Amino acid sequence: MASENVIVVGDGDFEAKVEKNELPCLVDFWAPWCGPCKAIGPVIDELAEEYAGKVQIVKMNVDDSPATPGKFGIKAIPTLILFKNGEAVDRITGAVGKAQLKELLSKA
């Protein structure tokens, strides 16, 4: 079950919910058929709980919304991009552990 602290965005509302968000945003670009994406899903949900109010966790299905991933040059999923003040400041590609994701979030 997805965390209530995770928001789902599409191409239409990405700018409003991520680039104009006052909080730093960690965007998980994923797809339902992607095994590694499913593997890190529970970790993303845990981080959403731990960082509630500090970092907004966002998920974007690349199949449903192909324009935004193209804009950011995403060639493989899962890719997680950290946005701060509307700018992409760091990214991780592939299924990584919680420790690596926390290290990324520490930059927020």
Instruction: Return contacts of 69-74, CB within 8 angstroms, 24+ apart.
Output: 69/29, 72/29, 74/29
Q: Active-site residue 34, yes or no? A: yes
Candidates 6, 7, 18, 34; catalytic one: 34
Annotated active-site residue 25? The verdict is no
The one catalytic residue among 7, 18, 37, 60: 37
71, 86, 101, 28: CA torsion to nearest 10: -40
| Residues identified as active-site | 34, 37
